[in-house]
Structure 1
Amino acid sequence: MVNVVRGAARLSTSVGSGTWIRQYRTAGPGAPRLVCFPHAGGSASFYFPVATALSPDVDVLAVQYPGRQDRMGEQPLTDLRRLADQVAEALEPWRDQPLHLFGHSMGAVIAYEVALRLQQSPGPGPAALYVSGRRAPSTRRTETVHLRDDAGLIRELKTLAGTDAALLADDDVLAMILPALRADYRAIETYEHRPAPLLTCPVTALLGDADPKVTLAEAEVWREHTDEDFDLHVFPGGHFYLTTHQPAVLTLLRERLKA
């Protein structure tokens, strides 16, 4: 799914947090903190409904990558590790308590790389990692969507069924979203996992049973990336199962964060 916001009306609901981090709702004292990472072509506002639904019990932060929405004037990054480096640095002011990380699709891998960086730096390590709609980093597929022409990129969006067809028919919208989308696909499709320490936090994997981007076997491999508990939840649906099953996903997150 691609997020497009015309004007700044929606972004004005953010209550600060600098260039990289958006906080759309405030939370009560001592609330657990959940950091959400968007998919390829996605924006922080994809998680606006999550922040609204979980507030004030959970402090939801959403990551805003460069090259979209209020960062449209910035060059999007095409190196996933550089993205993770900069997000980890941006999260430093929020590390007064352990961070729970949730990422969908490309965002799952960025969340994983950020978790490694938090774990290896001074301060609290990650409390938990939630990975949605993405195979484990150590699995490998050859994917070349980022090398397609614009029409090929649009076909990919239609295949994943996460973007409103009306947006894909709007030339102005396409001109806005395609540069960041192509950069994101290049970042995730050229990413190669390197040997790394096991995570010291539990990992929960979520996926749709008809997702063309990840199989059950590929999702199961996430258990090999943690020294702690691992579990897997399968929902009916495709790559964007989480929009259809948002209440169930939010219930799962709320229960885990309370625990």
Structure 2
Amino acid sequence: MATAPLRSPVFIRSPNPAAKLRLFCFPYAGAGAAVYRQWPEWLPADIEVAAVQLPGREWRIKEPPLEDLHALALDALDAIRDKLDKPFALLGTSLGGGLIFELARVLRSEGLPAPVCLIPLAVGAPHTPEEKLYHMMADDELIAELSEFGVMSDEFTGNDELLELALPILRADCVAHETYPYEEQPPFTFPIWVYGGTGDDSVTRERLEAWSVHTTGECQVHMLPGGHLFVDDMPDMLLQSIVRRLFQSLQRTQ
């Protein structure tokens, strides 16, 4: 049985009751909510950043990581359920991009409010097969592959104690993402704004464009300089574009 978190899984660094929109942000594999810690400083006050912490990391370190994307979506729903009181968007990087898709489906099945848009970063459409199955790799191979993406820094790869902590989380995240049992359902009606890195060899342009089948609304792919973690490398360029898309999506709901 999972241990209940001692604090909210949702971290809102700069609460703003007057914000027009709440942006729920989900991290990439192995990462925690802290990857979005600076975003409140970079986004306008009308957008309240709510970084969602997944089990097994940072202040939820005592909880076991989950190996099932639907279970992660249910966990995320529990985290955000009482924070759907204003228009909101779902943003996720890599693993987080797949998670927000399943979360949007869960919201729909529960009859809860829909997001004004989805913003998947560095991840192919959920019905498209992954190029590589990282969860099947031996530890050394997994570490080498993820180091190329920048997911694992030298600080981790050179420290056995940190690796012992990080590898189970990374592997669980890879299992959840790569074994997702996609089932066909009606498409969403809200827009999907997709972002990819021009130097990211792990996600093809074709897989990014395939997100279009999951909405009857608008779907656009935006390519930014950088690799798989362009979200860390090019935050200014990314956030400028995201802000435009968020307000564009919000206006359509009013």
Question: Given the two structures, how large is their TM-score scaled by the length of structure 1?
Answer: 0.88
Q: CA RMSD in A?
A: 1.9
Aligned residue in 1 for 2:144: 155
Q: Deviation string for 1:19-45 (max 9, x for gaps)?
A: 421112222503311000111101000
The yes-or-no answer on 1:115 pairing with 2:120 is no
List gaps (5 residues or longer) in structure 1. 1-15
Amino acid of the structure 1 residue aligned with 2:220? D
Q: Which moved more, 1:65-74 or 1:139-148?
A: 139-148
- Deviation (angstroms), 1:174: 1.2
- Deviation (angstroms), 1:55: 5.4
Moved over 4 A (4+): none
List gaps (5 residues or longer) in structure 2. 249-254
Aligned residue in 2 for 1:92: 81
- Deviation (angstroms), 1:159: 1.8
Aligned residue in 2 for 1:64: 53
Q: Deviation string for 1:116-142 (max 9, x for gaps)?
A: 122333342111000110000111136
- Deviation (angstroms), 1:189: 1.2
Distance 2:121 2:76 in 1: 19
Amino acid of the structure 1 residue aligned with 2:98? V
Q: Secondary structure at the match of 1:46?
A: helix
Q: Which moved more, 1:50-59 or 1:188-197?
A: 50-59
Q: 1:37 aligns with which of 18, 21, 26?
A: 26
How many residues were matched structurally? Answer: 244
Q: Deviation string for 1:182-237 (max 9, x for gaps)?
A: 11111111113111121121000000122122111111010000011111101122
Amino acid of the structure 2 residue aligned with 1:141? E
Amino acid of the structure 2 residue aligned with 1:34? L
Q: Quick one: structure 1 residues 142 and 214, their matched pair in 2 at CA, closer, same or farther if it must change by over 3 Å?
A: closer
Q: Quick one: structure 1 residues 28 and 68, their matched pair in 2 at CA, closer, same or farther if it must change by over 3 Å?
A: same
Distance 1:68 1:30 in 2: 28
Q: 1:105 aligns with which of 94, 98, 109?
A: 94
Distance 1:144 1:153 in 2: 10
Q: Secondary structure at the match of 1:238?
A: coil
